[in-house]
Amino acid sequence: MVDLVTTGYLTLDDLVLADGRVVRDTLGGGALYAAVGALVWGSAVGLHACAGGDYPVHLLQQIAAAGIDLRGVTDGPPHSLRLWLLEEAERRKQQLPKLASPSVAALDADRGPLPEAYAAAAGFHVAPSLPETQRGIAAEIRRRAPGAVITVDIWTESFFDPTPYSDPSFLADIDAFLPSDKEVEALWGLDDLAATLRRLAAAGPHVVAVKRGGLGSLIYDRGRDVFWEIPAVPVRPIDTIGAGDAYCGGFLTGMVETGDALEAGLRGTISASFAIQDYGALAGIDPDPAEVTRRLTALRGRVRCGDPDS
């Protein structure tokens, strides 16, 4: 039985780094990074994604060997989603699907419904995909697992229209909304961040957590009307692709196990810190439990409570 489920894309990525180096065929996809972020905290995680018919079997075996349940992975179209990831700086990244890749709409259609084996999970993370797909998945989860925790992350990439996100009614079925500051700025602006987060939370989610890259994250808890600023863990980054997705997986474990937004944010931050210490989605697998505890203890003492605009 799985405790948590992440749903979204499974990709093969070629990374083009700021210094011109290229790292090829790395495991990627928001759903996979989020699953690994949840594994940091010992959760049993299922992956709901469409791999594509030519996704290398040995890579699926690596994912399964890492402890991720793959009963929710389908073959779908003949080709997998392969991306160029252009990383010009920590705060400047672009994703470009390769020419042979299927459309994200085709992958969404071929992902299929959640397997029955996943319906009893306590928490679900809906990783970035098309806006209408995410709305449908969240509604399906709420119908089939009414007591589960649902978290959602979004994206605003150039290869699809993100404007449907501008209407926050898509947040009605979820418990926590986990965008990056890039998405918040593109869709709603950053001029009055506190007011924006309150408005987004009023649309449905109990918690809104904004990921801010190397600056950490900002969390708003609607029930307590309180903000927390959590800094990033000071580690040397190797590859920051997927850090936000790993944050989401750790965040989900905290919400499911404690129901506390601050605890969820702390866990998300720790998961992200392991994800950035090597290339690819499996970088955060099997961290030293003592190091997890050390980072968590140190991070608790660095949290700031208060209005972000004050």
Token digits for 28?
Answer: 């990627």
What pLDDT sits at residue 90?
63
C-alpha to C-alpha distance for 94 and 179, rounded to whole angstroms: 16
pLDDT interval class at 19 (50, 70, 90):
confident
In the chain, what percentage of residues exceed pLDDT 70? Answer: 98
What pLDDT sits at residue 268?
99
Q: What is the pLDDT of residues 62-76, one digit of tens each?
A: 999 999 999 999 988
pLDDT at 138 over 70: yes
Q: What is the pLDDT of residues 101-116, one digit of tens each?
A: 999 999 999 998 999 9
Name the more confident of 58 and 94.
58
DSSP symbols for 92-143: EEEEEE-TTSPPHHHHHHHH-SPPGGGTT-SEEEE-S--HHHHHHHHHHHHH
Tell me how far the alpha carbon of residue 78 is from its chain's centroid: 26
C-alpha to C-alpha distance for 235 and 216, rounded to whole angstroms: 12
Residue closest to 97 by CA, chosen among 78, 84, 111: 84
Q: What is the pLDDT of residues 211-238, one digit of tens each?
A: 999 999 999 999 999 999 999 999 999 9
pLDDT interval class at 91 (50, 70, 90):
low
pLDDT at 89 over 90: no
C-alpha to C-alpha distance for 35 and 247, rounded to whole angstroms: 10
Tokens 């979004």 belong to which residue? 154
Going by CATH, does the domain composed of 4-305 fall within 3.40.1190.20? yes
Phi then psi for 279, rounded to 5 degrees?
-90, 140
Strand order, beta sheet including 123-126? 68-74, 45-50, 4-9, 123-126, 149-152, 176-177, 207-211, 217-221, 226-230, 304-305
pLDDT at 310 over 70: no
Is residue 61 packed enough to be buried (19+ CB in 10 Å), middle (13-18) or exposed (0-12)? exposed
Q: What is the pLDDT of residues 254-290, one digit of tens each?
A: 999 999 999 999 999 999 999 999 999 999 999 999 9
Tokens 């030293």 belong to which residue? 288
In the chain, what percentage of residues exceed pLDDT 90? Answer: 84
DSSP symbols for 54-77: TS-HHHHHHHHHTTEEEEEEE--S
Q: What is the pLDDT of residues 181-215, one digit of tens each?
A: 999 999 999 889 999 999 999 999 999 999 999 99
